[in-house]
Amino acid sequence: MQVYDELVARGLIAQVTNEEEIRKMVNDGKAVFYIGFDPTADSLHVGHFMALCLMKRLQMAGNKPIALIGGGTAMIGDPSGRTDMRQMMTPETIQHNVDCFKKQMSKFIDFSDEKALMVNNADWLLPLNYVEMLRDVGAHFSVNRMLTAECYKKRMEKGLSFLEFNYMIMQSYDFLKLYEKYGCNMQFGGDDQWSNMLGGTELIRRKLGKDAHAMTITLLLNSEGNKMGKTARGAVWLDPEKTSPYEFYQYWRNVSDADVLKCLRMLTFLPLEQIDAMDRWEGSQLNEAKEILAYELTKLVHSEEEAKKAQESARALFGNGSAQEMPTAALTMEDFREGRVDILTIVHKSGLCASRSEARRNVQQGGVTVNGEKVTEIGMSYTPEQLLEGIVVKRGKKNFKKVVLS
């Protein structure tokens, strides 16, 4: 199976501008492609995972990736997927974040011998002359057409600043500069970037009379249609100082039954034949699939050593060892309100705290974890399905119960 067909089989491709041309370029290793990363934090997170894995897959097939760090566009902020305006950052903060990104990306992409490039759009965006930009680039964009883009439609309801309105033009200009300077003939990005990407292909056609291509990656959504990569504590980061390898492992170990096979296909490098065989798995076998998913992704992001340590720690706490001897507390459906039970009820009814007020204090002080994830929101709640398998609730370092639904 050639690489493009594998991307399709794994469910990674959402939209393409010219499938026949893109298929040939990618399969022949002729694509020089870029993916943009805005340095809005000092670490990449699970939301970047799809892009990093795609870059790795395509580089393995002989294509050349360009990681474009948005040091310039980060000073404006991408309105895609936003209902409010992003806070602007200082140049110093942006540079710090860029340096952190470089280190993390090197785990996925081989930058040696110019097999891949990392460039910063601040190099060409910041020196721009405003009048020249309006004449040379702005003249090729229709305001009416731009306003039909989904990212602008959402922001128009609350107010779209002129600052953000320029984002599409600047991203399109990035593609033009990368085409001229590095022969970049393809752009990849999240499906919410489609309008911005088409702006770039159209600008190259108008300015240079050349064809360039765009392909969007399927967004990583769970079975409920929400973006994956969030926990009660916030984003799941790739930086071990922000999300430990154990917490990272546990995030993937705790994905729902409905999501595990999709994640294995989209994110791991396991052979499709091996994953397809898991389609028939059910019950406890799906727990094994979740272990495989968590191990493979932790190994990819951190190291095989960290993946083994995280797996051993999880098994010691939840697995066939000490978990069998773990004290158990049972809740009934009477403890649920509108199909959910809140964390304060769980901590109180399990006997880990004598009262709801004590449970509240422990949660607010960060002393409660569920399946290895710290819970700090007193409104956190769980479904009967989650308790059927059982959750491990800890208060402090030594008090824990396996809470199940009887």
Residues 6+ apart with CB under 8 A from 99: none
pLDDT at 136 (0 to 100): 87
Q: At what angle do helices 245-253 and 304-318 cross, to 10 degrees?
A: 60
Residues 6+ apart with CB under 8 A from 31: 22, 25, 58, 63, 64, 185, 186
pLDDT at 325 (0 to 100): 47
CA–CA dist 17, 215 (Å, integer) = 7
Instruction: Show the domains of the chain with their CATH numbers.
Output: 3-217 (3.40.50.620), 222-324 (1.10.240.10), 326-406 (3.10.290.10)
CA–CA dist 176, 243 (Å, integer) = 37
Higher-confidence residue: 5 or 328? Answer: 5
Q: What is the mean pLDDT of residues 336-365?
A: 92
**Lowest-pLDDT range, 25-39, 201-215, 299-313?**
299-313
Reference 184, options 218, 207, 209, 214; nearest CA is 214
Query: Is residue 75 scored above 80 in pLDDT?
Result: no
Name the strand (E) or helix (H) holding 358.
Answer: helix 356-364
CB 188 within 8 A of CB 48: no
Phi-psi region of 61 (alpha: psi -120 to 50; beta: other; left: phi over 0): alpha
pLDDT at 235 (0 to 100): 82
- DSSP, collapsed to helix, strand or coil, labels residue 317 as helix
pLDDT at 315 (0 to 100): 80
Query: Is residue 233 scored above 70 in pLDDT?
Result: no
Instruction: State the amino acid at position 379 in one-letter form.
Output: G
pLDDT at 319 (0 to 100): 52
Query: Is residue 151 scored above 70 in pLDDT?
Result: no
Q: What is the mean pLDDT of the chain?
A: 86
pLDDT at 324 (0 to 100): 45
Alpha helices in 137-232 (DSSP H): 143-146, 150-156, 162-165, 167-182, 194-208
